[in-house]
């Protein structure tokens, strides 16, 4: 059996260091924020190449606070992609702002910059590109449009820790960048976690206040805030794991390259790294004509697969009031109907990649 994801395999490689870090926190009596989290923030800002990093409790909270710091208010519009995890749009809605979707580029699955301008109205405040599957969106084009129209760009980098666009790390190109440390992400906590990175001193200050009840010192609440603080135990664990992230990314890239070489034939289209990018392969999603059949065949052979995502956000019942319908974003809908995510993680055996590719390639020639 080849699991879609195997967090136990990763734990086996660094469990000793994680246990030492967790024990240090348990014995310290300091459980929320504190030095452990501050150290993670410093290390993560350095990793992303930004002046600041502010740790929070989830990636969703990171997006919520980054939008607030960018001045997004009730009734504003925020342009984003419908082909993403629900959290991107949910964070916009938390403010009472409206997500305005723009269809995707079929080659990268990311927002199509060529369609952004037609979605801009006098109410548009920000653009939230999502670096889906671990590959950055076309940031030069997006930043040029944002500058022309006076819009903030907030990167949803929740799947893209360490990804690059023309040498710039994910999160460092917009006014801020948001990360998730959900356990299954490329850098995952032993629980929940998130981070905002920014080069703006002002945004960093606001986000620091907002995550901790809007206070600038204890019991002095300058703005209405939230309890979005990171636990010390997650900060300590994530600092241990961050030191491994480059090795893990290289291992992912090696496995993605092998998939790309071996997945030939008519059954599937393998995803590609676009020019000028460093793809970190959070998800390896192939396109296939008969997804259900392929998924069933792989399941029969003991290979677990995933769907990211079977329903685009504009067709989710939770957001029916936005007024979108089938046909609103045909490229995103076609992607949702045809993608299948194959197992990919640093500890995945290369022989497992070969086996999966054999099964898929041979499947083309049997009935
Ligand atoms: C995981 C994810 C989020 C949300 O992060 P959480 O830590 O689960 O709140 C947001 N956007 C994208 C694209 C994600 O993949």
- Region 45-52: mean pLDDT is 98
234 within ligand 1 shell (Cβ under 6 A): no
Predicted pLDDT at 367: 56
Predicted pLDDT at 366: 66
d(CA 235, CA 187): 12
Q: Cα 33 vs. chain centroid, distance in angstroms?
A: 23
Indicate whether 364 pLDDT > 90. no
For the chain, what percent of residues have pLDDT higher than 90? 97
85 within ligand 1 shell (Cβ under 6 A): yes
Task: Give me the phi and psi of 140, to 5 degrees please.
Answer: -60, -50
Q: What is the pLDDT of residues 241-264, one digit of tens each?
A: 999 999 999 999 999 999 999 998
Full set of structural domains in the chain with CATH: 7-102+110-242 (3.40.640.10), 245-363 (3.90.1150.10)
178 within ligand 1 shell (Cβ under 6 A): no
Q: What is the pLDDT of residues 169-188, one digit of tens each?
A: 999 999 999 999 999 999 99
d(CA 238, CA 243): 9
Indicate whether 140 pLDDT > 90. yes
Q: What is the pLDDT of residues 61-102, one digit of tens each?
A: 999 999 999 999 999 999 999 999 999 999 999 999 999 999
Predicted pLDDT at 331: 98
Predicted pLDDT at 108: 98
Q: What is the pLDDT of residues 187-236, one digit of tens each?
A: 999 999 999 999 999 999 999 999 999 999 999 999 999 999 999 999 99
- Region 106-119: mean pLDDT is 98
Q: Residue 206's closest CA among 30, 327, 358, 54? A: 54
- Region 138-143: mean pLDDT is 98
What are the strands, taking DSSP E only, across the chain?
A: 52-56, 77-80, 98-101, 124-128, 152-156, 164-165, 168-169, 176-180, 194-198, 215-217, 220-221, 268-269, 277-278, 284-288, 339-342
CA 194 to ligand 1: nearest atom: 7
CA of 30 to the centre of ligand 1 (A): 27
268 strand-pairing partners: 288
- The angle, 0 to 180 degrees and rounded to 10, between the axes of the packed helices 7-28 and 232-242 is 130
- Region 38-57: mean pLDDT is 98
Indicate whether 22 pLDDT > 70. yes
For the chain, what percent of residues have pLDDT higher than 70? 99
Q: What is the pLDDT of residues 310-324, one digit of tens each?
A: 999 999 999 999 999
Look at strands 284-288 and 168-169 and give their pairing.
Answer: unpaired
d(CA 137, CA 130): 7
Reported as a pLDDT band with limits 50, 70 and 90, residue 10 is very high
160 within ligand 1 shell (Cβ under 6 A): no
228 within ligand 1 shell (Cβ under 6 A): no
CA of 85 to the centre of ligand 1 (A): 7
Q: What is the pLDDT of residues 52-62, one digit of tens each?
A: 999 999 999 99
When the pLDDT of each residue in the chain is averaged and rounded to a whole number, the result is 97
């Amino acid at each position: 059996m080849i699991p879609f994801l195997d967090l136990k395999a990763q734990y086996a490689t660094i469990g000793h260091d994680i246990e030492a870090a967790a024990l240090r926190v348990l014995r310290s009596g300091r459980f929320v924020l504190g030095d452990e989290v501050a150290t993670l923030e410093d290390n993560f800002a350095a990793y992303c190449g930004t002046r600041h990093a502010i740790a929070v409790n989830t990636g969703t909270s990171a997006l919520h606070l980054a939008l607030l710091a960018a001045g997004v208010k009730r009734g504003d519009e925020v342009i984003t992609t419908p082909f993403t995890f629900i959290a991107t749009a949910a964070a916009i809605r938390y403010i009472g702002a409206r997500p305005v979707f723009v269809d995707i580029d079929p080659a990268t699955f990311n927002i199509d910059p060529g369609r952004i301008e037609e979605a801009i109205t006098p109410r548009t405040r920000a653009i939230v590109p999502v670096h889906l599957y671990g590959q950055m969106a076309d940031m030069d084009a997006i930043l040029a449009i944002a500058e022309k129209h006076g819009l903030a760009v907030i990167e949803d980098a929740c799947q893209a820790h360490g990804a690059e666009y023309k040498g710039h790390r994910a999160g460092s190109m917009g006014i801020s960048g948001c990360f998730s440390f959900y356990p299954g992400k490329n850098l995952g906590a032993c629980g929940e976690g998130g981070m905002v990175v920014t080069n703006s001193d002002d945004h960093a200050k606001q986000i620091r206040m907002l995550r901790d009840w809007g206070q600038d010192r204890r019991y002095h609440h300058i703005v209405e805030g939230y309890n979005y603080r990171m636990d010390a135990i997650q900060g300590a664990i994530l600092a241990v794991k961050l030191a491994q992230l480059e090795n893990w990314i290289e291992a992912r890239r090696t496995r993605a390259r092998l998939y790309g070489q071996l997945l030939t034939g008519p059954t599937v289209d393998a995803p590609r790294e676009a020019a000028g990018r460093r793809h970190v392969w959070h998800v390896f999603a192939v396109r296939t004509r008969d997804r259900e059949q392929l998924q069933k065949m792989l399941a029969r052979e003991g290979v677990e697969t995933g769907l990211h995502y079977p329903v685009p956000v504009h067709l989710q019942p939770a957001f029916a009031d936005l007024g979108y319908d089938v046909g609103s974003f045909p490229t995103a809908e076609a992607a949702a109907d045809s993608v299948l995510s194959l197992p990919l993680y640093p500890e995945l055996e290369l022989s497992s990649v070969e086996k999966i590719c054999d099964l898929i390639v041979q499947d083309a020639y049997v009935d």
